[in-house]
Structure 1
Amino acid sequence: MSKEDRQMLDEARKHFIYSLAETMDLYGVTPSIGRLYATMFFQDRPMNLDEMRKSLGMSKTSMSTGVRKLMEIDMVKKVWQKGVRKDLYEAEKDFYETFVDFFCAKWQQEVNLNEQAVAKTKASLLSLLENPNISEAVKEEAHRDLKKMQEAESYYIWLQELLLQCKSGKIFEWLPKPTLKR
């Protein structure tokens, strides 16, 4: 491929790379790591850190940090190739798989964090209600708060079910992946 052809191809890809980087920023992934993922996405072969650094003009340390972050959220995986000594990495190209992995991890964190908070809050509220020295006004508020905690619990049960449906792939029975027209 000529240098001019390569430049035209890179220019065509640039719009998607920057758009994807900005989109990932919405979900807490820095734009530079988003650009790294998008650059790897267009590769038809695994890349090593030196190739990534050269492609993006960033330091090897930044590439290593970025790859580690992308591996944590299952958007990049380490691969092995016979005869290659350097670590190689490949981007997950299935956006559906990436969506499920990324959001399930975030939703699971939310469920874990908030289920504990709901349980502790309920225990504190029930303790208040059992205290004979607490005013009726506070007890009324505590009853209302308990109802709110039950509603929150209901949501986290629903979210846990959504997680299971996503992880199992059953979500795609309810909301099928579109068929590509070629």
Structure 2
Amino acid sequence: MPNNRQTPTDHERYEETIEKYIQVIAKNMNLYGMTTSVGRLYGILYFSDEPMTLDDMRDELEMSKTSMSTGVRALSDMKMVETTFKRGIRKDLYRSEEDWYKSFTSLFGNRWRHHTETNIEETNETITELIKIRERNSDQTLQAKIDRDLERLRYAKGYYEWLMTFIQVVESGEIFDYIPKNSAETKYEDN
């Protein structure tokens, strides 16, 4: 006789399957400079049907409230988590940003912009210093070496300027004109 009720085994298999995928999300966060615990936090929020408080997250992940708060702040700064409100609940509630395209463009832009701007500054400072050394030195061997290095640095600067343009294309959303998003209609459909 067929049993139409969900068996505990199916429930356990469901939990294991979701947990396995949350681990994938956690590992992928390393690509963006985030710890796996912050990645797990995002995964828990992503699969939660309801917004969660810091206490809910702490209970789910068995982490300290301070760690939860730090993780939520990092995710919030990257626009991957947002605060929400529910009538009758005084504690802050959090939910994941489910638009991964939006999260990626924000995260990519923030991370890469900072590093690229720093690289441009360092390149400019190095070029300026090498030009000063070259101008006050009459050693032709040293001058020739500086000239070669200045060429390399100008090439690097050109690359970083190109990278800044690319970052702007990502941040502005223009990237989707070149590489369209997959259809939003299939967001939660089985593949």
Per the normalisation by structure 1, the TM-score is 0.90
> 2:97 aligned to 92, 100, 117, which one?
92
Corresponding residue number in structure 2 for 1:64? 69
**Which region of structure 1 is more displaced relative to structure 2, 168-177 or 50-59?**
50-59
Corresponding residue number in structure 2 for 1:41? 46
Deviations, residues 133-167 of structure 1 (Å, cap 9, x unaligned)? 34111111111111111111111111111111111
Does the aligned pair in 2 maintain the 1:41–1:91 contact within 8 Å? yes
Partners of 1:44 and 1:157 lie apart in 2 by 43
Partners of 2:88 and 2:170 lie apart in 1 by 38
Aligned-partner residue type, residue 25 of structure 1: N
Does the aligned pair in 2 maintain the 1:18–1:35 contact within 8 Å? yes
Q: Does 1:170 align with 2:161?
A: no
SS across alignment from 1:152: helix
Corresponding residue number in structure 2 for 1:148? 152
How much does 1:76 deviate?
1.0
Partners of 1:44 and 1:173 lie apart in 2 by 32
Deviations, residues 54-112 of structure 1 (Å, cap 9, x unaligned)? 11122222211211121122211122223220011111111111111111111111121
Aligned residues: 181
Deviations, residues 26-69 of structure 1 (Å, cap 9, x unaligned)? 33211111111101011132110111111112222221121112
Q: Which runs of 5+ in 1 are unaligned?
A: none
CA RMSD of aligned residues (A): 2.1
Does the aligned pair in 2 maintain the 1:128–1:134 contact within 8 Å? no
Q: Which runs of 5+ in 2 are unaligned?
A: 1-5
Corresponding residue number in structure 1 for 2:142? 138
Corresponding residue number in structure 1 for 2:122? 117
What is the identity percentage for the equivalent residue pairs of Structure 1 and Structure 2?
38
